[in-house]
A and B are shown apart, each in its own frame.
Chain A
Amino acid sequence: MAEETLVLFKNIRNPKYDKSLAGYKRSGGFKSLKKVFGMKPEEVVQEVKESGLRGRGGAGFPTGLKWSFMAKGTGKPSYLIANADESEPGTCKDRELMLKDPHLFLEGLMISSYAIGCHHAYVYVRGEFFPAIKTLNAAVGELYADGLLGTNPLGSGFKLDITIHTGAGAYICGEESALLDSLEGKRGQPRVKPPFPAVSGFNGCPTSVNNVETLACIPFILSDGGAEAFKSFGPQNNSGTHLVSLSGHVNCPGVYELRMDVSMKDIIYDIGGGIRDGKKLKGVIPGGSSSPVMKADEVDVLYNFDDLAKIGTMLGSAAMMVFDEGTDIVKLLHRITRFYAHESCGQCTPCREGTHWSSQIIQDFLRGNGSDEKLKRLYRVGGNMLGTTLCALGDAAAMPIQSFVNKFPEEFRKYYATL
Chain B
Amino acid sequence: MFSEDIQAQVDNLLCRYPIKQNALIPILLLVQKENEGWLTEEWMQHVADICEVPLTHIEGVVTFYTMFRLKRPGRYHLQICTCVPCCLVGGTELLEHTEKKLEIQAGHTTDDGVFSIEEMECIGACSYAPAVIVNEDYHEQVTPEEMDKMIKELRQ
Contacts and interface: CB of A to CB of B under 8 A. Distances in A.
Interface of A: 77, 86-92, 94-95, 126-131, 161, 163, 165-171, 182-188, 203, 245-249, 253-255, 285, 289, 319, 321, 323, 327, 332, 335-336, 339, 342-343
Contacts of B88: 247-249, 321, 323, 327, 332
Contact of A91 (B21, B57, B66, B124): B124
Contacts of A248: 85, 88-89
Given A248-B85, A335-B84, A339-B122, 20 more contacts: A92-B125, A92-B126, A94-B124, A131-B138, A167-B25, A171-B122, A185-B25, A185-B53, A185-B61, A188-B64, A203-B19, A247-B126, A247-B127, A249-B88, A253-B129, A335-B82, A335-B83, A339-B84, A339-B121, A343-B121
In terms of DSSP, what is the predominant structure of the interface of chain B? mixed
Chain B interface size, as a band, is 35 or more
B100 interface: no
Contacts of A187: 60-61, 64
B94 to A, nearest CB: 14
Interface of B: 16-19, 21-26, 28-29, 51, 53, 57, 60-61, 64-68, 79, 82-85, 87-89, 120-129, 133, 136-138
A184 B57 CA distance: 12
Contacts of B67: 127-128, 168-169
B128 to A, nearest CB: 7
B133 A170 contact: no
22 contacts: A89-B85, A89-B121, A90-B126, A91-B126, A92-B128, A127-B65, A128-B79, A128-B124, A129-B124, A168-B28, A168-B66, A169-B68, A185-B51, A187-B60, A187-B61, A188-B64, A203-B19, A248-B85, A255-B127, A289-B84, A319-B126, A332-B88
Contacts of A247: 85, 88-89, 126-127, 129
A161 B51 CA distance: 22
A89 to B, nearest CB: 4
A147 to B, nearest CB: 19
B113 to A, nearest CB: 22
Contacts of B19: 184-185, 203
A335 B25 contact: no
Nearest to A133: B136
B84 A89 contact: yes
Nearest to B64: A187
Nearest to B120: A128
A184 B138 CA distance: 28
Nearest to B32: A168
Nearest to B60: A187
A89 B121 CA distance: 8
A89 B122 contact: yes
B112 to A, nearest CB: 25
Contacts of B25: 165-168, 182, 185
Interface centre among B16, B88, B126 (most CB of A within 10 A): B126
